[in-house]
Chain A
Amino acid sequence: MSEPLLARYADCIFWLARYVERAENLARILDVNEIFARDSRGGQDWLPIVQLHSDSKRFFAGHAAASAEAVLRFYVTDVDNPGSILNTVRSAHENARTLRPLISTEMWVQLNVFYNEMRALRPADLAPERLPRLFATIKEACQTHTGITEGTFYRDQGWYFYQIGRYLERADQTTRLLDMKYHLLLPSPADVGSPIDASQWNALLRSAAGYHAYRRLHSTNITPARVAGFLLLNLSFPRSVVLCVREIDAMLRELKSRHALRRGNAAAEELDRLRAVLGTLSIEEIVREGLHEFLDLVQSQLIAITTDLSTAFFGKAPALADASEPQ
């Protein structure tokens, strides 16, 4: 049995990974929307971004319309929006602070600098001409974090919880993105499979950093079903849902075998079910049965896995061994 890991640390490292992944994804989506998501009249629609994050209620409580400026501020620097990049990075930073004894000094220093850069952002930094550079900086900071972690973080239990957090967040982000865009981009359900405005689909792929990979795979044409199939079921695309789920499954197996963790059976079962579903259905079958329903199912399973992990490892619910102990 390896060195024990504090349940609270496992929780923090899981969420540290999730928050950094979330910040990166949000920067990607905003970046792509800014550059590519123009309609045929040259206008930009920012409302989908709000809908994507289920933030309509909170957003419209403070804003009359989803203008580019308002949405960008809401998602980049708004301190009152818990989902803004600033607050997401703050949460990552807060977790890292707690994890100082566990993570490498280099991981901490980089996150600390990143957070301070985010805090120093002024409204002028959100001016349209500066946005591409800002999003590039944010994406790069998140990727730098990932790289430093890969190169310096000791591979004990913490590493596995970190990876699980990262892939869970990524799978969640991909399903949300697909769910929202897919239906938005289709004129009506009858049009599934018909050629539509390719630029919008390109934008969707770019949001998930999958444009070039998709092109290599399907160089001739772009269809909604193929894009959905690529984002959901491609075994080589690093942000596909199936790849993320496989990684999570492998990490959990490592934790249970190599680190002799006996708990986590509920999460393992959930993962088995999810893998089975993703491994047996073709994208045509999924679309026929209803993509939205399918994505809903995947999402609720991802949530269930997080809950199972919290109960089993993070001491979030009354765990069996110390249920009788005073909290």
Chain B
Amino acid sequence: MADIYHDQKILRDRVLPADLILNHSCYRPAMRRLDPPHGTYVHICGTDIVRDQNGTLLVLEDNARTPSGVSYVIENRNLMQRAFPDLLKGIALRPVENYGLMLAAALAEVAPAACETPCIVLLSPGIYNSAYFEHVFLAREMGVPLVEGRDLFEADDHVYMRTTGGPSRVDVIYRRIDDDFLDPEAFRPDSMLGVPGIMRACRAGNLTLANAVGTGIADDKAVYAYMPRIIRYYLDQEPILSNVETSICREPAALRYTLDHLASLVVKPVGEAGGYGITIGPLASRQELEECRAKLLADPANYISQPCIMLSVAPTLVDGGVAPRHVDLRPFAVTGKETRVLPGGLTRVALREGSLIVNSSQGGGSKDTWVLE
């Protein structure tokens, strides 16, 4: 990330196609030459991990913008402990409940250098947002104010919140608002959710945004395909967790391969989240496959394809009793000065029989996930 927003060596060395990054809708020129504290861009990262037919753990997707779901990790554990107190007896289970402290500590680390006791706030789109529950949860766990755009304003390159005692300076914003809506002055001018001038405060070094603006280039599904090469380029190491083999349909050979094997592949649009627009070849009808083919031909660069990974299953309570359902795992990594990984994670489960789509927006559920001492 620092390279992309500074020297762009990786582009000049042609490891990544420059147009893929520079023409990307999530690439933010406003971030060029900006130095976030400790060089941290992705303060909260959620990586989706699956286990394939051979038992190999693979990275399915990176979420480097505003990954959600951590509140479920903690609430699932709370419910589990209440519902099955006996089950946990004698098991050295690592706790997940201190996530709020962990996050608050990391955010305090990345506060602008000048402030001693940084004021941290959580910026939410408000009570009508589908993740408002999580915003409330995290604000409470961290003990920080949950603010909306209208509570903040920028003056002299600093951001303030409107309090009963007058303006009060804000140092770190954990924002749960997309880049586009964050600052009508810098991005979408019609945004009602953001704070005009927030980017100027950020550029002046008076404010830290978590996650930083412009991290969307790292969790793009097309960039994902290059991730093993990116790791080799920067670290000169093999990735510890492999990717799912991915064909980038912007490349003619890959497009041909995808079209030829449509019925056995999973086709994903690169710019979507939440499991939308995905075609799963083995499960799709003839008509759905034809629609997918037409979309691919119309705009190949918008798609990638992957072999259909039969996600592993876990016993799941359903109407008829306990049955196998497909799952994936999203652990959360929090980075301030250094990285801490929550010893637990969000196990998402596709509740519909045979379904491979685990997203909660599409009827997926979640499970308590244990990491033992």
Contact = CB atoms under 8 A, between A and B. Distances in A.
Nearest to A97: B127
B321 interface: no
Contacts of A322: 153, 155, 160, 162, 167
Interface stretch (B139-147, B172-180, B246-254): B139-147
Contacts of B155: 322, 325
A321 B167 contact: yes
A7 interface: yes
Contact of A263 (B139, B140, B153, B165): B165
Interface residues of B, number: 23
Contacts of A8: 148, 150-151, 162
A6 B166 CA distance: 9
A5 interface: yes
Contact of B161 (A6, A98, A255, A313): A6
Residue of A1, A10, A319, A326 most packed against chain B (CB within 10 A) = A326
A208 B160 CA distance: 44
B146 A315 contact: no
A184 interface: no
A8 B121 CA distance: 14
A157 B165 CA distance: 10
A263 B127 CA distance: 29
Residue of A9, A101, A157, A325 most packed against chain B (CB within 10 A) = A101
B164 A157 contact: yes
B98 interface: no
Interface residues of A, number: 30
Contacts of B139: 101
A157 B163 CA distance: 11
Residue of B145, B150, B163 most packed against chain A (CB within 10 A) = B163
B278 interface: no
B168 interface: yes
Contacts of A261: 164-165
Interface string A256-269: 00011111000000
B136 interface: yes
B329 to A, nearest CB: 29
Contacts of B147: 6
Interface string A289-327: 000000000000000000000000111000101100111
B166 A321 contact: yes
Contact of A259 (B148, B165, B167, B168): B165
A324 B347 CA distance: 49
A260 B162 contact: no
B196 interface: yes
Interface in B246-283: none
A310 to B, nearest CB: 11
B127 A6 contact: no
Contacts of A97: 127
A25 B146 CA distance: 32
Contacts of B140: 100-101
Contacts of A9: 145
Residue of B127, B146, B153, B162 most packed against chain A (CB within 10 A) = B162
A62 interface: no
A315 B147 CA distance: 14
B162 A326 contact: no
A7 B146 contact: no
A232 B174 CA distance: 50
Contacts of B168: 4
Interface string B122-143: 0000010000000010011000
Contacts of B136: 100-101
B196 A4 contact: no
A4 B163 contact: yes
A280 to B, nearest CB: 32
A8 B149 CA distance: 11
Nearest to A2: B165
Nearest to B153: A325
A235 B329 CA distance: 63
Nearest to B122: A101
Given A101-B136, A101-B146, A325-B153, A313 B127 contact: no
Given A101-B136, A101-B146, A7 B162 contact: yes
Given A98-B127, A326-B196, A6 B167 contact: no
B232 to A, nearest CB: 44
Contact of B145 (A101, A262, A313): A101
A154 to B, nearest CB: 11
A275 to B, nearest CB: 23
Given A4-B165, A263-B164, 7 more contacts: A6-B145, A7-B163, A101-B140, A259-B165, A261-B164, A325-B153, A325-B155
12 contacts: A4-B161, A4-B165, A5-B163, A6-B147, A6-B151, A6-B164, A8-B162, A100-B140, A101-B139, A157-B164, A322-B155, A325-B154
Q: Which 4 residue pairs across A and B have the least CB separation, nearest first?
A: A4-B163, A101-B146, A100-B136, A101-B139
Interface of A: 1, 4-10, 94, 97-98, 100-101, 157, 161, 255, 259-263, 313-315, 319, 321-322, 325-327
Interface of B: 127, 136, 139-140, 145-148, 150-151, 153-155, 160-168, 196
